[in-house]
């Protein structure tokens, strides 16, 4: 029997780690238990005073049983930035585990979109009412924040996209787009890395763009007519919302990481007890 294959293989003390930054196959030739981290692609932020994109869904657990077979791994792409409502991220999949792509940020006068974490609501024209952030998927992420209607049609801003660890913040009229929700840290690779942060909301005129959520989120537009910043690749971070007539930032692609006790999957056969990670 051989050791499992697939992805980029590293070790950390007693553990072997398989990191998939693109789609591939995880192959094992015996039964055992593994730990996983599965993060979907983040959504893009909304264009034209848009809300921040929601982070990709984030799922992790230990003691997950695998058997003698090849497991296709799907690493979800981030949503592509748009001039209107953004685009959701794509799902990431390992075995029976599916992390849901992040929800897109809304554009002017449009609500955010539901996803792994929800997209922020877009800004609003004078008197049309605030646009709401969307909900996240239970156990995978948080809701997006609301856009704001300042009643004058000028310094309106988009809400922040949700992150795994926190909801996106609501926008503040004439002040700033909502901050993206924070991501969550994992030490599955041996060092602590924060992923799945939401994108900051877009802005107009003298307001400022929303701050990026920690863990790969993109910031909201830096100037009135700027595009939102992109989410970071392989973090599932949401893209930032755009300024007036700008394009929302792209969402960051997801990642799948699998680790196990090296002694659970030795290179040669023999009788032994399986350990739980």
pTM of the model: 0.95
Classify strands 8-12 and 193-195 as parallel, antiparallel or unpaired: unpaired
Instruction: Give CA angle at 35 (30, 36), nearest 5°.
Output: 110
Comparing C-alpha atoms, which of 264, 266, 268 is closest to residue 276?
264
User: How much is the pLDDT for 269?
Assistant: 46
User: How much is the pLDDT for 152?
Assistant: 64
Give the pLDDT confidence of 185-229 residue by residue, as tens digits.
999 999 999 999 999 999 998 899 999 999 999 999 999 999 999
User: How much is the pLDDT for 153?
Assistant: 57
Percent of the chain with pLDDT over 90: 87
228 close to 33: Cβ distance less than 8 angstroms: no
User: How much is the pLDDT for 162?
Assistant: 98
Average pLDDT over residues 242-249: 96
Question: Is pLDDT of 27 > 50?
Answer: yes
Cα(85)–Cα(105) distance, integer angstroms: 6
Task: Name the β-bridge partners of 208.
Answer: 176
3-state secondary structure the chain: CCCCECCEEEEECCEEEEEECCCEEEEECCCEEEEEEEECCCCCCCCCCCCCCCCCCEEEEEEEEECCEEEEEECCCCCCCCCCCCCCCCCEEECCEEECCCCCCCCCCCCCCCECCCCCCCCCCCCCCCCCCCCECCCCCCCCCCCECCCCCCCCECCCCCCCCCCCCCCECCCECCCCCCCEEECCCCCCEEECCCCCCCCCCCCECCCCCCCCCCCCCCCCCCCCCCCCCCCCCCCCCCCCCCCCCCCCCCEEEEEEEHHHCCCCCCCCCCCCC
User: How much is the pLDDT for 1?
Assistant: 57
Q: How confident is the model at residue 108 (pLDDT cuts 50, 70, 90)?
A: very high
Give the pLDDT confidence of 48-57 residue by residue, as tens digits.
999 999 999 9
The rounded mean pLDDT for the chain is 93
Question: Is pLDDT of 98 > 70?
Answer: yes
Cα(251)–Cα(221) distance, integer angstroms: 14
- Work out the end-to-end distance of the chain between its first and last CA atoms, rounded to an integer number of angstroms: 21
Question: Is pLDDT of 74 > 90?
Answer: yes
Cα(47)–Cα(246) distance, integer angstroms: 5
Percent of the chain with pLDDT over 70: 95
Question: Is pLDDT of 15 > 60?
Answer: yes
User: How much is the pLDDT for 174?
Assistant: 86
Cα(92)–Cα(58) distance, integer angstroms: 9
User: How much is the pLDDT for 151?
Assistant: 72
Comparing C-alpha atoms, which of 205, 206, 243 is closest to residue 226?
243
Contacting residues for 218 by C-beta, under 8 A, at least 6 apart:
45, 52, 53, 180, 199, 200, 212, 228, 229, 230, 231, 232, 237, 238, 239, 240, 249, 250, 252
User: How much is the pLDDT for 251?
Assistant: 98
Of 176-180, 267-271, 273-277, the range with the lowest mean pLDDT is 273-277
């Amino acid at each position: 029997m051989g050791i499992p294959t697939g992805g980029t293989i590293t070790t950390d003390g007693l553990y072997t780690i398989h990191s998939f930054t693109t789609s591939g196959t995880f192959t094992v030739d015996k039964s055992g238990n593994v730990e996983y981290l599965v993060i979907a692609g983040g959504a893009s932020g909304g264009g034209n005073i848009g809300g921040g994109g929601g982070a990709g869904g984030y799922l992790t657990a230990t003691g997950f049983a695998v058997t003698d077979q090849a497991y296709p791994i799907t690493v979800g792409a981030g949503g592509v930035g748009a001039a209107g409502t953004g685009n959701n991220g794509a799902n990431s999949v390992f075995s029976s585990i599916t992390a849901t792509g992040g929800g897109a940020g809304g554009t002017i006068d449009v609500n955010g979109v539901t996803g792994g974490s929800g997209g922020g609501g877009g800004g609003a024209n004078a008197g049309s009412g605030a646009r709401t952030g969307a909900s996240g998927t239970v156990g995978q992420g948080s809701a997006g924040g609301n856009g704001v209607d300042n009643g004058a049609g000028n310094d309106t801003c988009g809400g922040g996209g949700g992150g795994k660890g926190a909801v996106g913040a609501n926008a503040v009229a004439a002040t700033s787009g909502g901050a993206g929700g924070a991501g969550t840290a994992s030490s599955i690779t041996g060092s602590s890395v924060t992923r799945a942060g939401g994108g900051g909301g877009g802005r107009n005129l003298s307001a400022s763009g929303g701050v990026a959520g920690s863990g790969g989120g993109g910031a909201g537009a830096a100037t009135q007519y700027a595009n939102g910043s992109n989410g970071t690749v392989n973090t599932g971070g949401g893209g930032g919302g755009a300024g007036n007539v700008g394009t929302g930032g792209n969402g960051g692609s997801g990642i799948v990481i699998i680790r196990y006790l090296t002694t659970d999957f030795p290179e040669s056969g023999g009788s032994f007890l399986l350990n739980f990670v």
